[in-house]
Amino acid sequence: MTGGPERYDCHRDHGPYAGVSAFLGRVAADRPRLAARHTVELRAIAPQLDPAARPAAEEEPIRFHPARRTAYLAYGAAELVAAWAGTLRRPVTVRFDHVASADETTAELLDALARRLGSTPVRLDLRDDAASDPAPDERTPQALRRALGDGLAGGFYHHAARVARRGRATVTPDGDLRHWWAFTTGLATALAALDRAAEALDLYDEARAVTDDPKITMSAAYATAMLHARHLPAADQDPEQARLWLERALHLAAGLADPRQRLLSTVFYEQGLALLDSRAGRPDRALRLVDDGLARLTAALGPGERPQDLARLRHNRAQVHLALGDPTRALADLDTVIAHDPDNCEYYVDRAALYRAAGRTRDAIRDYDAAIRLGPHLPEAYYNRAVLQQERGRPGRARADLERVLAIDPGHLDARIALVNLHVERGALDAAEADARAGLAGAPQDPALLCTLGLVRAERGGPAEADELLTRALSEDPDLVEAWTNRAAVRFERGDVAAALADLDRAVALSAAPVPRYNRGTALARLGRWDEAAHDFAQALAQPGLNRALRRDLRAELARCRRALAG
């Protein structure tokens, strides 16, 4: 890539990842070995690089991707470009035109590149030059439907919504009901994925108002049920409405003339009922529905037919087995699902959680490794692997995973808190304070971050600020034991033993853990209340799983109390 600036047109009319897709293609051609480490991102962003790749809509995904997946893809693509930039011998200018008119996927990736490439030889020239008005979309309804299907399957929901609206503008329900419905339900699906489920509900109401076609009203009933069950904000979800709409969908499915379609629709609509039953505390009833659906589907399908559908039901059954307290059967179902669909990262995350609960840490880490390899940098896989690495006494590996989580998703509070705590444990107070303040910039009232920053400020000789931070944490979460314990320590060191004792009374009332009792015993001993202090030390010693140092200190303090009582 030499000579004048490379130029790429980012206008949204060219689709998702316009401009950046071609740029990544040039990077991949320039450094194929680097590109081989980023096949997941490149397959999604620049499918033209793989001549054998099928359109996304033909891949038969089990479920639609979450909208946040594009942020993970952007992170991976930026890592690829940064690695490529590190191989360059001279600066390179890359010009992107029509940035202001770019699709959301392109804008997101350009933002990731700008953040990641700040000190590299790659100079980004982002042009917001005004674009001409978009040309009328002359694609046929069939072509628009294909583009809509690819957009939905790829998880490019803003683009899919635009295509669906263009499609709805080209047809009417009176003139072309089949295409109008495809664009309408596609638009509703995109809006639901973008957390605009109320607008999706309006579209299904519109569909019911313009047609009584049984297949359309059946599909609309099921989709409406899922909006009430899954996609509306939690406060607005209505399981009873969801059940009524599912029953309506099942009634209409029973009237389908094609026996095969009747079976498929019935089985999958019943999975919605199973979901509601499981959430309502009736996993036994949910299991009967899933088992029955699997049996009927298996009997009706030929060998190797619709494997994704069977995998979906087995995955559902694994969740129900887990709700029933049967992790062994849940694990057996997930083993079967992964054997038939070994490239789905979500299944490995689910199985890793089961391994972790069973104490099979190595197996869990191996599955998180697989999820990270197969998926587009899933923050939860990195985070959960970090927790396991920390439990195994590998803080360096845990820290690396947590830093990766925050590079992908700076707003991941659990990772931020865990990383701050790791910094505290290794005595890196500057790093701990910087990360805690970075987290509070996005979540200024988070009690765990306020608590940890209070601990750091106390360690760094700022007791007044520490007390104020811990008090703020307790105002947000009065049940946060660590905040009561830490504020007590601050007040104890400042000589206010009575206030420290009051805080420790609250901590002990909230938790049976040994540290609050140990600390309260120390405060009681300072006040000369030896009998009460001895009781606390003895109670703390009786707790299982004490580490050696704490056990030694508790025994020494208990012996001191007994000597004082004896004297």
Model confidence pLDDT, tens digit, residues 458-516: 999 999 999 999 999 999 999 999 999 999 999 999 999 999 999 999 999 999 999 99
**pLDDT tens, residue by residue, 207-223:** 999 999 999 999 999 99
Kindly tell me if the per-residue pLDDT of 531 is higher than 80. Answer: yes
Sign, CA torsion 532/533/539/542: negative
Distance CA 275, CA 44 (A): 30
The helix/strand count (H/E) of the chain reads as 28, 3
Assign 55 to helix, strand or coil: coil
Give the pLDDT confidence of 18-38 residue by residue, as tens digits.
Answer: 999 999 999 999 999 999 999
Going by DSSP bridges, is the β-strand pair 6-9/122-126 parallel, antiparallel, or unpaired?
unpaired
- Which residues 6+ apart lie within 8 Å of 97 measured at CB? 7, 8, 9, 10, 11, 19, 127, 129
- Show the tokens assigned to 255: 């009237």
**pLDDT at res. 129:** 75
Report CA-CA distances (Å) from 229 to 128, 236, 281, 316. Answer: 42, 9, 15, 15
3 state DSSP class of 224: helix
What pLDDT, on the 0 to 100 scale, is given for residue 133? 61
CB atoms within 10 A of CB 441: 10
- What's the one-letter identity of residue 183? F
pLDDT by residue (tens digit) across 96-128? 999 999 999 999 999 999 999 988 999 999 998
| CA-closest candidate to residue 137, choices 170, 178, 179 | 170
Cβ neighbors of 45 (< 8 A, separation 6 or more) are 17, 20, 21, 24, 73, 77, 105, 109
Condensed to tens digits (0 to 9), the pLDDT of residues 464-476 reads: 999 999 999 999 9
Residues 6+ apart with CB under 8 A from 506: 484
Confidence of residue 451 (pLDDT cuts 50, 70, 90): very high
Whether the pLDDT of residue 304 is over 90: the answer is no
Which residues, at least 6 apart from 311, have a Cβ–Cβ distance to it below 8 Å?
62, 337, 340, 341, 344
State the pLDDT at residue 6: 83
Cα 124 → chain centroid: 30
Residue that has been written with the tokens 């001993």 in this structure: 525
The share of the chain scoring above pLDDT 70, in percent, equals 96
Q: How confident is the model at residue 340 (pLDDT cuts 50, 70, 90)?
A: confident
Q: What percent of the chain has pLDDT over 90?
A: 87
Q: Tell me the pTM.
A: 0.87
**pLDDT for position 4:** 61
Q: How far apart are CA 239 and CA 226, in angstroms?
A: 9
| Structural domain spans, the chain | 6-126, 515-567
* Per-residue pLDDT tens digits for 350-392: 999 999 999 999 999 999 999 999 988 999 999 999 999 999 9
**Length of the chain as a residue count:** 567
The span from the CA of 239 to the CA of 286, in Å, is 15
Indicate whether 79 pLDDT > 90.
yes
pLDDT, average across residues 323-338: 94
Confidence label for 166 from pLDDT (cuts 50, 70 and 90): very high
The rounded distance, in Å, linking the Cα atoms of 496 and 235 is 44
Average confidence (pLDDT) over 47-54 = 79
**C-alpha–C-alpha distance, residues 435 and 430, integer Å:** 9
What gap in Å lies between CA 356 and CA 126, rounded to an integer? Answer: 46
